[in-house]
A and B are shown apart, each in its own frame.
Chain A
Amino acid sequence: MARTATYQQAINEALAQEMERDETVIVMGEDVAGGLGTDGERDAWGGPLGITKGLYGKYGDRVMDTPISESAFIGAAVGAATAGLRPVAELMFIDFMGVCFDQIFNQAAKFRYMFGGKAETPVVIRTMYGAGLRAAAQHSQCLYPVFTHIPGLKVVTPATPYDAKGLLIQAIRDNDPVIFCEHKALYTLEGDVPEEPYALPFGEANIVREGDDVSIVTLGRMVHVATEAADALSGDGIECEVVDLRTTSPMDEDTILETVENTGRLVVLDEAHPRCNMATDIAAMVCEKAFDSLKGPIKQVTAPHTPVPFADTLEDLYIPDAAAVQKAVKAVMESSK
């Protein structure tokens, strides 16, 4: 596994390898081929950040530019999935999902259930999320908790290039609708990525770092913030176990409960707004199922309950950082038995 690649390259490679393997896999979205109105031959765009660059040249009409109408092309992708294709639709920013909630919540997520298990909807919706790129309130949200709330959807939030490739391949092979959430601040992150195709199962959290004092359960970009905090805390003699959820639905409850049973202390770190997010969900689950293991109160570290600010200084304050995690870990240590 000596080859390294970026998060962005890992996603591109997963798409290319699955398109190569299975001709029912198609890619659609805004500017994913050449940009609307061009013939696509020059392969100029590959999406707003170039994630799908190079696919049009190899797979031609299986890479489709769509009108700027999320409700139309997400609906088309869902329909195509029920009719035998495996569409991977790119919905530029997760913030824009609102216009196609019906297609996702009421159609894609419900077909298997409402048709008595006889319908499958193997659609993947790729989308980018998260703050930190000075993209302001309508292009920076962490809306994965919204999708996690809906039965019938699977929700994926890779933190590393290795996970991005393996989880996207699994998402494409999965027979249910998958919301694949890419943190835009991670696209340039490099890591080991095998060149061959591989699939990572959903619902298997990754223990990124082992420790016996405090568990930090987190996901996405915050995995790296947690690791940074854990490295600093190690210098103070506090050893944190960092758990990366990898997927929020299904969620690996067993691994979360096991780490809490081991450490007895929990900090949940989530970049999403504080109400009804992954932090509250995990804190509630642990209170219900592992209360006796807790040596003290759980701490949540999240963004505040405000829109993502546009001002640089305010956005930097908005995003949870390692200092906030260290403070929470120390508070949990002090308040525990």
Chain B
Amino acid sequence: MSEGIRPICMPKWGLSMKEGKVAGWLVDEGDALAPGDEVIDIETEKISSAVEAADAGVLRRHVAQEGDVLPVGGLLGIVADEGVADGDIDAFVTDFQANFVPPEDDDEDSGPATETVEVAGRNIRYLTKGEGGTPAILIHGFGGDLNNWLFNHDALAARRVVHALDLPGHGSSAKDVGDGSVGFFADIVTGFADALGIEQAHLVGHSMGGAIALAVARAAPARVASITLIGSAGLGSDIDGDYLEGFIAAERRKDLKPHVEKLFSDPALVTRQLVNDLLAFKRIDGVTAALGTIREAFAPGGAQAEVMRDVAGSVPTLVIWGAGDRIIPASHADGLPDGVDCTVLDSQGHMVQMEAATEVNRLIDERLG
């Protein structure tokens, strides 16, 4: 009876997500959907985003309504082909609701847990999803952590093993950042690949993580299957130095929030929880000093120290930028060497991999093959 009926369920964004609130439907009952269409807005304690259609079909039923709070896996709506009878959909919904068991609060099987590996004498935290294929390594930017890939990790891991790491000085990794240079972090990424027995990997870097990917490709091209550079550093000297300085200096919620808002095209995404999580990170002993060391090496005087435009294209290279990026200008995507694929997304900001996850995931997935 459930043939051709596909439920849309409450997603799980990040290890700590237990439930989400329906902020609103983006499509009406009866609308046709293509894969990747944004269907429904969901809010969690930490983040707001849209759930996208996995398959083509017709949105037949809004099961959850605006304002409803559902556990992860709860039934939001129904997609089915036009030919499926309403009675079958009703039966499916009744059956689903009767058998649905919300995940336990302390359910250890709710998803993969982070692991720790030692690289150059430092504990490095990472999260692995997926299996097989040429591995991909996701490298976050300045002040970020592996959660920056919340909306990308699962999608990319559908076809290959994908590791996301916390760089030294960030997340739950060790806070010793050496000289803080892009070269230091490139050695860490190479050492991370060594520690996991990875001969060759696709490197996907955001912001400073892009510069790190470029530096790995420069130092050890044989280890790099491709690089994907998102809102990337290392392709020009411009960068918003006030952002870096303000992010480091801000000690209170109110001081930090305006800086974080610069990262997004939609400032409403900067929730209180997001700012609190960043403050909790910044307040860990050694973090402020580490970020200061990185800034001095990475962007002394408010200009990027290392420009590696010639490295782009020396390995297969994909560049993705938000046209409205306020941290590193999208103009750095202009005039890159031949063979570099470049996509600039309109009305997107620096955190384009979060705000336009579907499109970014599609571009990366196609490129990685």
Using a CB–CB cutoff of 8 Å, the interface residues on chain A facing chain B are: 1-2, 162, 166, 194, 196-201, 204, 207, 210
Contact indicator A1/B172 (Cβ below 8 Å):
yes
Q: Is the interface of A mostly helix, strand, loop or mixed?
A: loop
Contact indicator A2/B284 (Cβ below 8 Å):
no
Q: Bound complex: CA of A162 vs CA of B284, how far in Å? A: 12
Contact indicator B280/A204 (Cβ below 8 Å):
no
| Min CB gap B133→A, angstroms | 27
Which residues 246-279 of B sit at the A interface, judged by CB distance below 8 A?
Answer: 251-253, 272, 277
Q: Bound complex: CA of A200 vs CA of B279, how far in Å? A: 10
Question: Which B residues lie within 8 Å of A194 (CB)?
Answer: 172, 280, 284
B 81-98 binary contact with A (CB < 8 Å = 1; else 0): 000000000000000000
Select which of A2, A198, A210 is within 8 A of B280 by beta carbon. Answer: A198
Q: Bound complex: CA of A2 vs CA of B108, how far in Å? A: 12
Question: Which B residues lie within 8 Å of A197 (CB)?
Answer: 284-285
Question: Which B residues lie within 8 Å of A166 (CB)?
Answer: 283
Contact indicator A201/B272 (Cβ below 8 Å):
no
Contact indicator A201/B251 (Cβ below 8 Å):
yes
New A-B pairs, 18, CB < 8 Å, besides A2-B114, A194-B280? A1-B172, A2-B172, A166-B283, A194-B284, A196-B175, A196-B284, A196-B285, A196-B286, A197-B285, A198-B283, A198-B284, A199-B285, A200-B283, A201-B252, A204-B252, A204-B253, A207-B272, A210-B272
Question: Which A residues lie within 8 Å of B285 (CB)?
Answer: 196-199
Question: Which A residues lie within 8 Å of B27 (CB)?
Answer: none
Contact indicator A2/B15 (Cβ below 8 Å):
yes
| Min CB gap B82→A, angstroms | 38
Q: Is the interface of B mostly helix, strand, loop or mixed?
A: loop
Q: Quick one: closest B residue to A199, CB to CB? A: B283
Supply 19 A–B pairs (Cβ within 8 Å), ascending by A: A1-B172, A1-B280, A2-B15, A2-B172, A194-B172, A194-B280, A196-B284, A196-B285, A196-B286, A197-B284, A198-B280, A198-B283, A199-B285, A201-B251, A201-B252, A204-B252, A204-B253, A207-B272, A210-B272
Question: Which B residues lie within 8 Å of A196 (CB)?
Answer: 175, 284-286
Q: Bound complex: CA of A200 vs CA of B284, how far in Å? A: 9
Q: Bound complex: CA of A2 vs CA of B286, how far in Å? A: 19
Question: Which A residues lie within 8 Å of B114 (CB)?
Answer: 2
Q: Bound complex: CA of A162 vs CA of B281, how far in Å? A: 12
Q: Bound complex: CA of A194 vs CA of B282, how far in Å? A: 12
How many of B's residues come within 8 Å of A, CB to CB? Answer: 16
Question: Which A residues lie within 8 Å of B222 (CB)?
Answer: none
| Min CB gap B83→A, angstroms | 40
Question: Which A residues lie within 8 Å of B286 (CB)?
Answer: 196
| Min CB gap A111→B, angstroms | 27
B63 touches A (CB below 8 Å) = no
B34 touches A (CB below 8 Å) = no
| Min CB gap A58→B, angstroms | 19
| Min CB gap A47→B, angstroms | 25
Question: Which A residues lie within 8 Å of B284 (CB)?
Answer: 194, 196-198
Question: Which A residues lie within 8 Å of B252 (CB)?
Answer: 201, 204
B195 touches A (CB below 8 Å) = no
Q: Bound complex: CA of A204 vs CA of B283, how far in Å? A: 13
Q: Bound complex: CA of A2 vs CA of B251, how far in Å? A: 23
Question: Which B residues lie within 8 Å of A199 (CB)?
Answer: 283, 285
Question: Which B residues lie within 8 Å of A2 (CB)?
Answer: 15-16, 113-114, 172
Q: Bound complex: CA of A72 vs CA of B272, how far in Å? A: 46
Q: Bound complex: CA of A207 vs CA of B252, how far in Å? A: 13
Question: Which B residues lie within 8 Å of A1 (CB)?
Answer: 172, 277, 280
Q: Quick one: closest B residue to A17, CB to CB? A: B285
Q: Quick one: closest B residue to A195, CB to CB? A: B172
Question: Which B residues lie within 8 Å of A200 (CB)?
Answer: 283
Question: Which A residues lie within 8 Å of B251 (CB)?
Answer: 201
Q: Bound complex: CA of A228 vs CA of B114, how far in Å? A: 32
Which residues 93-134 of B sit at the A interface, judged by CB distance below 8 A?
Answer: 113-114
Q: Quick one: closest B residue to A197, CB to CB? A: B285
Q: Bound complex: CA of A283 vs CA of B191, how far in Å? A: 58
| Min CB gap A256→B, angstroms | 14
Q: Bound complex: CA of A194 vs CA of B279, how far in Å? A: 13
B 1-42 binary contact with A (CB < 8 Å = 1; else 0): 000000000000001100000000000000000000000000
Q: Bound complex: CA of A261 vs CA of B171, how far in Å? A: 35
Q: Bound complex: CA of A194 vs CA of B175, how far in Å? A: 13
Question: Which A residues lie within 8 Å of B16 (CB)?
Answer: 2
| Min CB gap B134→A, angstroms | 29
Most chain A CB atoms below 10 A, which of B16, B113, B175, B284: B284
B 200-244 binary contact with A (CB < 8 Å = 1; else 0): 000000000000000000000000000000000000000000000
Q: Bound complex: CA of A207 vs CA of B15, how far in Å? A: 23
Q: Bound complex: CA of A204 vs CA of B272, how far in Å? A: 14
| Min CB gap A150→B, angstroms | 26
Q: Bound complex: CA of A198 vs CA of B277, how far in Å? A: 13
| Min CB gap A54→B, angstroms | 21
Most chain B CB atoms below 10 A, which of A1, A197, A204: A1
B 148-185 binary contact with A (CB < 8 Å = 1; else 0): 00000000000000000000000010010000000000
Question: Which 10 residue pairs are nearest across A and B when measured between Cβ atoms?
Answer: A197-B285, A198-B284, A198-B283, A196-B284, A194-B284, A196-B285, A198-B285, A199-B283, A207-B272, A2-B15
Q: Bound complex: CA of A263 vs CA of B236, how far in Å? A: 47
Q: Bound complex: CA of A1 vs CA of B279, how far in Å? A: 13
| Min CB gap A152→B, angstroms | 24
Q: Bound complex: CA of A194 vs CA of B285, how far in Å? A: 11
Which residues 263-319 of B sit at the A interface, judged by CB distance below 8 A?
Answer: 272, 277, 280, 283-286
Most chain A CB atoms below 10 A, which of B175, B253, B277, B283: B283
Q: Bound complex: CA of A200 vs CA of B285, how far in Å? A: 11
Q: Bound complex: CA of A200 vs CA of B282, how far in Å? A: 10
| Min CB gap A194→B, angstroms | 6
Question: Which A residues lie within 8 Å of B277 (CB)?
Answer: 1
Question: Which A residues lie within 8 Å of B15 (CB)?
Answer: 2
| Min CB gap B66→A, angstroms | 14
| Min CB gap A219→B, angstroms | 18
Q: Quick one: closest B residue to A210, CB to CB? A: B272
Question: Which A residues lie within 8 Å of B272 (CB)?
Answer: 207, 210
Q: Bound complex: CA of A2 vs CA of B277, how far in Å? A: 12
| Min CB gap A317→B, angstroms | 31
Q: Bound complex: CA of A200 vs CA of B175, how far in Å? A: 18
Q: Bound complex: CA of A64 vs CA of B285, how far in Å? A: 27
